[in-house]
Chains A and B, each alone.
Chain A
Amino acid sequence: MAAISYYASVLAIFACIYSIVTLGLNIQWGFSGILNFGVYAFVAIGAYTYALFTLGKPIPGASQTYILGLHLPFVVGLAAAAAAGGIVAWVLGAVALRRLRSDYLAITTIAFSQILWLIAGNETWLANGWDGVSGVPQPFNGLLKLSFNDYNFFFLGLSLVILVLVVWLAQLLLRAPFGRILRAVREDELVVESFGRNIASLKLRAFIIGAVLASIGGAMLAAYVGAFNPSAFLAGETFFVWAALLIGGSGNNWGAILGAVLVPVVFTEGTRFLPNIPSNPQLIEAFRYVIIGLLLILTLKFRPQGIIPERSDRFERAARRNRRLRSTPVPVDDAGEPPSA
C-alpha cells in the first residue's frame, strides 16, 4: 500500500510540474498564438538557475564544477529561476517577436534552444557540462528532516500550492482585458493593430509570462529530482509539452492541466504491460513517443480544439459569425483554400 501511494505521489508531483510548464505554453500559444518550440530551453534555464543558486560552493577537486553555488534557500532560488527565465525571454522575444512570422519564430526558438544545449553541454565550468549538476538540496528538508516517504508528500503539497497560484494567475489573465486582447491578437493581428495596440509589446509580455512559468516548472523539476543535465532538454521534451497542450485543449487552462496530467500518465502507464526487451532498452520509451506522435496527429485531425475546448462566450460567438459573414464573398477554390496573401 505504501508503495502504491508513494508511486501515486511521484506521478502527481510530475503532473503538477508538467501542468505549470503547460500552462506557460498555453499563455504563449493558446492565448496569443506564439509558436514557441523552445519551451524546454526555459525549463532548463529555470532548473540550472535554481540549482546554481541553492547548491553550496563547489568543492575543488570534487567531481562537479559549476559557477555561483550561493547556497540560498528555496524561495530565493525559485525567484531567481523565474527572473532568469523572464530576462532571457525578454531579450529573445524583443528581437524575435517583432519581425518574424510564426514558422520562422518556431525555427528561431528551436535554434536558440539548441545553442543553449550545446553551451550547457560543452562548457563544463558553467554547470558541469554533459554530466550536469546533481545533489541539489531538497527544499526545506534541512529543517523538516522528514523520512524519504513523508518528504515526497510534503513536496507534493508544495507543488500543489505553487500550481494553485499559477492556475489562479492564468485564470486571472484569461479573464482580464489583457487576456482578451491577447486572444484578439491570436485571431487577427491586423484588427488589433488598427485599434492602436502595439502587437509586438503584447506578444512580448505573453512570451515573458509563459517563459517565467516554464522556468518555475524547471526549478521545481531540479528541486525534486535533485539534478539536471543537458539530456533532460532535448527537442522531444518540448514536443511532449506541445502534445499535452494540444490534446488537452489549448486556449483554456483546464484543458492544459488535463493534457499535462493525462499525457504523462498515458505515457508511463499505457506501456506498462509491454515486455521489457533487454537487447533494446529504449524500446518502450521509443514506443511511447510513437504513441504521442499518433495522438498529436489524430487530435489535430479529429478534435483540433482538444479534449476540453476553449469556452467561447456570447460575444466571441457573435464575432465568429461576423467573420464568417465577412469572409463569404472571398473566392474559395475547390480545395477550400482562400487565396494566399
Chain B
Amino acid sequence: MSILLLSIGFGLITASVIAIAGVGLSLQFGVTNFVNFAYGDFMTLGMYLTLILGTALGLSVYAALPIVIVCTGLAGVLVNRLVLDSFVRKGANPIILLISTIGVSLIIQSGLLAVWGAQFQKFSLGPSQPLHLGPFIFTPRQLSILGLAVVAMVVIHVLLRYTRLGKAMRAMSDRRTLARVVGINTTWLTDWTWFISTAMAGLAGVVLAINIASFTPSTGFGFLLVIFAAVIVGGIGKPYGAMLGALIIGVITSVAASYMDSAYKDAVAFGVLILVLLVRPQGIFASRGRG
C-alpha cells in the first residue's frame, strides 16, 4: 500500500512535467491544426539554454528560468516565421507541415549534438533533503516542480478565460473560418500561439531536466511520445484535457514502474497511447472541457 502511495506521489511530479509540456503542445495544435514533432526539441533547447546561462553568467537554474522561457518562446516564433508560416500561407496539407517540423527537429537536435556531444549534462543543483508529507515523500526540488506546474496551469487558465488573446485562441480552435470571419488577426494569433507553446516547452524542458537529473540532446525528443500520450488521452487541441491526460499518464507510468521492470515505464505510456487512439481517438474527455 505504501509503495502504491509513494509511486502515486512520484506520478504527481511526472504529471506536473507532462502537464506543462502537454498544455503547450495542445494549445499550438488547437490553433494551427498540425502536430509539431519538434516540440520535444524545444524542451531540450530550454535545458541547454539553462546550462549556458549557468556556466556563462553563473545564474542558478531558477534565476535563469524567466530568460529561458522568453528565449525558447522567441525561438518558436522564429521557426514559425522562417519555416512554417509560408507553408500555411500556401494552404499546404497539415501533413506537409508535420513533416517539415521533423526537419526542424533534426536541425535542433543535431545542432545541440554538434556543440555539446552526446554525453550527459547536469544542472548544478545543491543536495535536496526528502520531506515526509503524510504518506508521500518529496524533495524540495520535486515540490518546486509541482509549484511551477500549478502556477503555469493557473496562468494558462487566466490567459484562455479572461484575455482577448486567449479567447481568440479558443475561437480559432473551435471554428477556424468563423474566427477569421469575425476579424481575428491570424498573424498576431499564430505568433503568440507559437510563443506561448514553445515557452511552455522551455519551462517543461527545465523541470524535466530537474526531475530526471541528467539530459542529452535527444532527451526532449524521447519524451515527446509521453507528451503525445497525455495530449491524446485528454483529446488533442484541448489544453484542459491535456492537464487531465498528464495526470493519468504520469500516475499510470509511475505506478507501473514500481510493479514491473522500470525500463518499460515509457512503454506503458505508449501502450496507453495506442489503446486510446484505437478505442477513443477523440480523447477520453471529448464531450467535456472544450479547451
Contact = CB atoms under 8 A, between A and B. Distances in A.
Interface in B181-231: 186, 221, 225, 228-229
B180 interface: yes
B177 interface: yes
Given A103-B98, A107-B228, A242-B99, A114 B266 contact: yes
Interface stretch (A72-80, A175-183, A285-293): A285-293
Contact of A282 (B118, B267, B278): B118
Contacts of B89: 335-336
Contacts of A293: 102-107, 110
A236 B95 contact: no
Interface residues of B, number: 50
Contacts of A300: 87, 96, 99-100, 103
Contacts of B258: none
A114 B110 contact: no
A248 to B, nearest CB: 14
A35 B176 CA distance: 25
Contacts of B105: 293
A304 B266 contact: no
Contact of B266 (A118, A288, A292): A118
A297 B100 contact: yes
Contacts of B261: 122
Nearest to B101: A297
A6 interface: no
A106 B266 CA distance: 18
Interface string A83-125: 0000000000001100111111011101110110011011000
B34 interface: yes
B56 interface: no
Interface of chain B: mostly helix, strand, loop or mixed = helix
Contacts of A289: 106-107, 109-110, 113
B103 A296 contact: yes
A114 B269 CA distance: 11
A106 B98 contact: yes
A282 to B, nearest CB: 5
A322 interface: no
A340 B176 contact: yes
A338 B98 contact: no
Given A108-B274, A118-B266, A300-B99, A280 B114 contact: yes
Interface residues of A, number: 53
B278 A95 contact: yes
B18 to A, nearest CB: 15
* Max chain A Cβ within 10 angstroms of own Cβ: one of B103, B110, B271: B103
A296 B100 contact: yes
Interface of chain A: mostly helix, strand, loop or mixed = helix
Given A102-B95, A107-B273, A301-B87, A114 B106 contact: no
A339 interface: yes
B225 A290 contact: no
Contacts of A318: none
A239 interface: yes
B277 A107 contact: yes
A111 B261 CA distance: 18
B114 A283 contact: yes
Contact of B102 (A101, A104, A114, A242): A242
B104 A111 contact: no
A281 interface: yes
* Max chain A Cβ within 10 angstroms of own Cβ: one of B34, B221, B273: B273
Nearest to B218: A234
Contact of B106 (A35, A107, A236): A236
A100 B267 contact: no
B270 A114 contact: yes
Given A242-B102, A282-B117, A293-B103, A107 B88 contact: no
Report, nearest first, the 7 A-B pairs whose CB atoms are least far apart. Answer: A293-B106, A289-B110, A286-B113, A286-B114, A296-B103, A297-B103, A293-B107
7 contacts: A35-B98, A100-B278, A101-B281, A112-B270, A114-B225, A114-B266, A337-B88
